[in-house]
Structures are given as structure tokens and as C-alpha cells.
Amino acid sequence: MVFSDLFFLYVFLPLCLIAYFVTKKSKNRNIVLIVFSLIFYAWGEPLCIFILLFSTIVNYFIGLLIEKHYERTGAKLAVALALIFNLGMLIVFKYSDFIVGNINYFTGASIPLPNIALPIGISFYTFQIISYIMDCYWGTVKVQHAYPKFLMYVSLFPQLVAGPIVRYSVIEDEIDNRKITATDIKEGAFRLMVGLAKKVILANNLYAIVNTFFIGNDISNLSVGGTWYTVIVYSMYVYFDFSGYSDMAIGMGRIFGFHFDENFRHPFISKNISEFWQRWHISLGSFFRDYLLYVPILGRPRKYLGLFLVWFCTGMWHGASWNYIIWGLYFGAFIFLELKLGKKRMKKWPVWASHLYSKAVIIIGFGIFCFEDFGQLGQFFLNISGISMITNGSAMFDTITWTSFLNNFFLFAASVMCCLPVLPKLKDFFNSTNKRFATGQILSTVSCCGLLVICTILLVNATNNPFLYFRF
């Protein structure tokens, strides 16, 4: 089931909200969320729900073992078992074809590919479970004794299939004690509509441009300007698609009384790559920082080896393909260079130079992210560097690209504008006085209704267009 689907918006979610608010006790509300979350997950992949349930049962008992043997060898063995089980699940379901394919390529073997279907959301809920296990081991959270509550934490449908990766510590108290105010419902509904608009109005239409020039097309004849134009559009598409899902998840969580952490904070305004990754997919970045960066390598923590291990894993997490690993190491290399340069030196750069540097690195990085085929990826580099003008006789600009830009000018301009922190500035403005606050409440309500109407119209005849991060 997809958030940007009329059935979800007008049937599933309303029924869930009615059942949720009809009940009063947190225990009964938790049961409602569990039932609807399992229905949500099983809707498209009914067999995969058994994998989710099996994973939660195993890790629930591992958590109890950690508590029973706390600060003893048994707890370490329990953590080791959890890591082997959870990472093993990821390897089997997500990376088995990749591993076998590379063995075949490098050894000349002919081992049949397993072709195991990837359960939606396994990367997200597995990392949530690992964070819970590690926090239990470190004593930063209490072990959950009630399996239904643990199941609800893992399976909560707003964030189940595409994040954000919610730490148990974030909602530990709210599992049993959550108060829902009118402000929570209002703010949650507004955030939900903003996320829906990002997906339906911006991301889906930006993808149509990307599909015209990049996806499944030979880009060897694409001009230099056309390549830059399309990869910029692709960068914004990925941002609005993924941040739109996160906004919807955070908004729905707020309506249900949960306060998830932010996952995006306007990453394209960053002046360097380190700042970009403090603003982009924050829940994944913080996961690797807290649980992997300081892992001992050859007997002790090693700053730079740990850094590249984090970025190798960041790339690997995104998909079973070498371009994602290259993508992760590419950003890791720039963060390494920025660490060596130092913050003081970089602050001396002119603002325009900082933005030019960061945007160029980020946009080229999304080109690496886009092309799994190495032939296409190599051609992308030839195009974007201008070398294709010599090797292929490609043009600097072409009529088709220019026509596409003119036809989609307002979409392009609106997308660029929405990459900037416009909404937070407007919110601060309307919250500055009581009179402005009242006006802001009216405008936000009208905006919510307007966005819902526009998105509904666009979705009536829309084909299935799932969120990009469902793949991961």
C-alpha cells in the first residue's frame, strides 16, 4: 500500500483514525495500530509479513536475554546473535544476488542467482531493531517486556516501509503515555499534506522529465547542458520523493501522538558536504555515526578507517549494486577532504564558492546514484564534464532539452523554491504576533484543503508510482 494512493487516503487512513480515536486507552490504541499496520504491510506482500513477525519475535527474546545477563558475557553473546541474525536476514534477502553475481563475474563460475524477492522496508525495520538491541545492551533504554508493544514499535505503518529510522528511545515513553492535542492533529495534518504535495505535485512530475532523458535511455547523444539539466531535476526528484514520504510519516505519527525526529532539514542549502549529510536522511546518518563509526578496527577505533567503513555501508545500504557503494565512498572522500582542510579554512571561502562547490558535488553524486549500469555511468561522466563533445561530438546544448526546460519552467522554479526553507520562515512570520497567528491558522487550513484537492485530481488517473526508497 502506498501513501500517495487514493485508497489509502480516503479509505485506509480514515478507518484507522476512526478506530484509533474511538478507543481511549493507550493499550487499545496500540492494538488498533498493530492491526492496521499489519494490514498495511500485508496488503501488497502477504507472505512477507511472516518475515517481519519472525524477526520481531526473535529480537524480542534477544532483548529479554540481554536484560537477564546484563553486563555479563551472556549479554554480549545475545548481541552477537542479534547482529548475526539481523544482518544475515539483510544479506539473504537483499544482497544474495549481488554476492553470487560478483562471484560468478570474478571467478567465471555459473552459480544460479537465488532471485529472492526483497521484502519492502526490510532495510528500515532491521536497522530500527538493531538500534533497539544496541541501546538495550548499553542500558540507554529499558527492555520492552510486552511483545505487542515491541511489535507496534517495529511495525508502526507510518514509518514501516521507508523510514525514517525511528529509535526506540524516541518513542519509548509514548508507547504507553501519549497525549494528543488539537495542535498535534493540526500540525500533523499539515505535515501530511505537505509531504503528499511533495510526492504527487513535484516528485512525480520531475520524474517524468528524468524518465524522458535518463531512465532506460542511451544518454550518449544527450548534450552537456541536457545532462546537467536532467541530473539537477533528478536530484530534486529524489529529495521531494524521499522527504515527502518522511513528511507524511512524521505527520501521521504526530496525529497518533508520536513525535518522530526530523529526517530532512533543507539539505540543498548546505555549504559543504559534511553539512549536507547532517541535513539529508538524518536518521540513517545518525545510525551509522552512533553504532558504526567508533567500532574497533584492528583492535582500536580508527578515525579515518571508521569514516570510510561508514560510507561504504551507507552506499551498500541503499542497494545491491556497485554504483551505490561508489556513491557512498564518493561522499566519504569529500568529507575526508573537508576534515583535512578543517572548518576554519572552509569558513574563509566566499559564500558563492561554498555553494558552487557543494551543489556540484551533490548533483554529480546523484548522477552516480542514478546509473546502476557502468556503461551509462561512464557516459554520464563524459557528458557532464564536456568530454563527450570531443569523443561523441555531443552538443553543448540541444533543442529538446531547451524545449523541456521551457515547458516545465514553472515546475522547475517551484521545485527550486521548495528546496529552500520557505515554510519555516513563513511559520516564524505568522507566529510572531497573535493577529498573524490567527491568519496563519486560516491559511494553513485552506492550504491543506487545497493541496488535498489538487493531489486527488492528479491521482485520479495516475499509474502506480511508488516511493523511490521502497527499493531500499
- Rounded CA-CA distance 54/66 in Å is 19
Residue-level pLDDT at 218: 83
pLDDT digits (tens, 9 = 90+) for 324-349: 999 999 999 999 999 988 888 888 89
Band of residue 441 on the pLDDT scale cut at 50, 70, 90 = confident
pLDDT digits (tens, 9 = 90+) for 148-176: 999 999 999 998 888 799 999 999 999 99
Q: Which residues are catalytic?
A: 318
Residue-level pLDDT at 344: 85
CB hemisphere CA count around 453 (13 angstroms)? 6
Which regions of 370-417 does DSSP assign to beta strands (E)? Answer: none
pLDDT > 80? residue 131 = yes
pLDDT > 70? residue 67 = yes
The three cell numbers locating residue 393 = 561530438
- Rounded CA-CA distance 122/160 in Å is 9
pLDDT > 80? residue 293 = no
pLDDT digits (tens, 9 = 90+) for 264-289: 999 999 999 999 999 999 999 999 98
Q: Which residue has the cell 484509533?
A: 20
DSSP string, 321-361: SHHHHHHHHHHHHHHHHHHHH-HHHHHTS-HHHHHHHHHHH
Please tell me the least confidently modeled range out of 36-40, 164-168, 223-227, 462-466.
462-466
